[in-house]
Amino acid sequence: MTLKMIVSLLVFLSSALAWASSSNVQVMKAPQDIVYEGTSEHNRMDKQYSLNLVALGFGPSVATSSGVNAGLFLDRNNLLELEYVSGRPLTIDWGNSYDHLDSKTSSFGVHLKHFAGNSFYVRGGLDYRMADYDYTYNYSSTDKGESKFNGDSIAATVIIGNQWQWQNFTLGCDWIGVALPITSQVKSESVVGDKPYYFEKDKDTLLKKTATVLLRLYAGASF
């Protein structure tokens, strides 16, 4: 058997196998999405806007968070949200009656929430985070001082959670996520007296540290 005959036989056999396999395949149209009546996905249908109060939880700064978010439904499974929250950093006073720490954070966020199921979602976006820090000590008339700074950062945020819908009532929770700083800056700072050894650490914590988003409970309305 020559090489030409072998090649011709292989081509014939491959063509025969391809015809045999294709002759047993039935092509059907993909079924349409099924949405069950009364589910959260069903109740999101035809909604245009949402408005919620964020009452509990932590993040996207290294702080507690409470505030408000407003959303625009692109479709039943995609929601564009704007958010403002504020809170207190996750630090405590050092237990000395002569020391006082007053610091606060706030953030504006733009996020896209994608529902991967009936209520489960993945949420991602950017947060503009601001921090104000003021530490004072007053041990005596000659031993006192104040350390202050003001700064901001931009963080990329990814969160997973669940949001349930009953007619117009909305209840949800950002279970867990991370806010990873992309850029940060100290806009102003001042130190009167001795600089505390933790001053630089506190700046890094509030502006540069990756924050955990955890158990942020919210409720409101969609319409």
Which of 138, 177, 143 minimizes the C-alpha distance to 161? 177
The predicted pLDDT at position 14 comes to 65
The predicted pLDDT at position 28 comes to 72
- Enumerate the domain spans of the chain: 37-222
The predicted pLDDT at position 11 comes to 59
The predicted pLDDT at position 143 comes to 80
The predicted pLDDT at position 194 comes to 83
Quickly list DSSP for the chain: --HHHHHHHHHHHHHHHHHHHHHT----PPPPP---TTSHHHHHTT--EEEEEEEEEE-SSSBB-EEEEEEEEEETTEEEEEEEEEE-BS----S-TTEEEEEEEEEEEEEEEEESSSSEEEEEEEEEEEEEEEEEEESSSSSEEEEEEEEEEEEEEEEEEEEEEETTEEEEEEEEEEEEEEEEEEEEEEEESSPPTTHHHHHHHHHTSPEEEEEEEEEEEE-
Query: What are residue 210's phi and psi, to 5 degrees?
Result: -65, 130
Q: 37-222 maps to which CATH number?
A: 2.40.160.70
Q: How many angstroms separate the CA atoms of 123 and 216, rounded? A: 13
- Rg of the chain over Cα atoms, rounded to whole angstroms, equals 28
Q: How many angstroms separate the CA atoms of 223 and 73, rounded? A: 10
The predicted pLDDT at position 140 comes to 79
The predicted pLDDT at position 90 comes to 74
The predicted pLDDT at position 182 comes to 97
The predicted pLDDT at position 45 comes to 95
CB burial of residue 70 (10 Å; 0-12, 13-18, 19+): middle
Per-10-residue mean pLDDT for the chain, 223 residues long?
Answer: 60 61 64 85 96 95 96 97 94 61 94 97 98 88 88 98 97 98 96 86 93 97 97
The predicted pLDDT at position 110 comes to 98
